[in-house]
Amino acid sequence: MSSRNRVLLMAALLGLSTSLLAQTYQIGRKTTEAQIAPWVIDAFPSGAGLPAGKGTVGEGRKLYETRCAACHGMKGEGTLADRLVGGMDTLKSGRPVKTVGSYWPYATTLYDYVNRAMPYDSPQSFTPNEVYSVVAYVLHMNGIVGADATLDAATLPKVKMPNSAGFTTDPRPDVSNIPCTRDCK
Ligand code: HEC
């Protein structure tokens, strides 16, 4: 038997045995839309997936100083955790300093990341307004948005990041490049 056929046979047996198990012992159940919904929190560069709400640099400063600075430094210089600010003009040097400001190509990724994973000690505890605010403040510390900026689902995708042109797709001719996979413009 070829190895491909062996794999197909094993997959068929596995499928058969799991469906038998489910029928015989009532193990497992169909995942509902309601159960999946909390996991679907991706924010895309196009703005797709960003929630309603808005946040300001001023509100973000307060949140940042109380909820983020202990690990990332008062000015985003990094202490226990990553530096978040500065490093522009270092990417081509022998010692590139990669931060949100110098390296990340999309501002929406900052929303996605903070909303998903920060604060590290209580992830996903922020409201959309709080995430927009703290994102605005991190961008402001990087000199990317002004002190009076208000960010929401419409304005955040329009923020141009310093390194937005610094990424390239795979140039090999036999590689199909799909740089964006969903809801892209
Ligand atoms: C208890 C410490 C702690 C706190 C508080 C915290 N962070 Fe973090 N943060 C981390 C750690 C650790 C990482 C790296 C996580 C990893 O690589 O898996 C990180 C990573 C990040 C990154 C990605 C940096 C990069 O260049 O990869 C961002 C952005 C960030 N945090 C923002 C925030 C914001 C905004 C807050 C406040 C709302 C916050 N963090 C609060 C510990 C913390």
Q: pLDDT digits over 67-116, tens only?
A: 999 999 999 999 999 999 999 999 999 999 999 999 999 999 999 999 99
Pocket perturbation via mutation, ligand 1, pick of 65, 74, 82, 102 by most ligand atoms within 8 A of CB: 82
Atom of ligand 1 minimally distant from the CA of 135:
35
Angle 74-78-83 from CA coordinates, rounded to 5°: 115
Q: Is residue 107 within 6 Å of ligand 1 at its C-beta?
A: no
Q: Is the CB of residue 67 less than 8 Å from the CB of residue 127? A: no
Q: Is residue 113 within 6 Å of ligand 1 at its C-beta?
A: yes
Can the peptide bond before residue 128 be classed as cis, meaning omega within 30 degrees of 0?
A: no
Q: Is the CB of residue 29 less than 8 Å from the CB of residue 122? A: no
Q: Is residue 97 within 6 Å of ligand 1 at its C-beta?
A: no
> How many other CB atoms are there within 10 angstroms of residue 62's CB atom?
13
Pocket perturbation via mutation, ligand 1, pick of 57, 63, 68 by most ligand atoms within 8 A of CB: 68
Q: Is the CB of residue 55 less than 8 Å from the CB of residue 61? A: no
Q: Is the CB of residue 50 less than 8 Å from the CB of residue 111? A: yes
Whose tokens are 């309603």? That residue is 52
pLDDT, tens digit, 9 for 90 and up, residues 137-168:
999 999 999 999 999 999 999 999 999 999 88
**Residue 20 binned pLDDT confidence (cut-offs 50, 70, 90):** confident
91: its two tokens: 């990417």
Nearest in space to 108 (alpha carbons), one of 184, 1, 168, 166: 184
Nearest in space to 82 (alpha carbons), one of 105, 110, 57: 110
User: What is the chain's alpha carbon radius of gyration, rounded to the nearest angstrom?
Assistant: 22
**Residue 182 binned pLDDT confidence (cut-offs 50, 70, 90):** low
User: What is the greatest pairwise CA distance in the chain?
Assistant: 69
Instruction: Give the distance (Å) from ligand 1 centre to CA of residue 184.
Output: 27
Phi, psi of 71, rounded to the nearest 5 degrees:
-100, -30
pLDDT higher than 70, residue 183: no
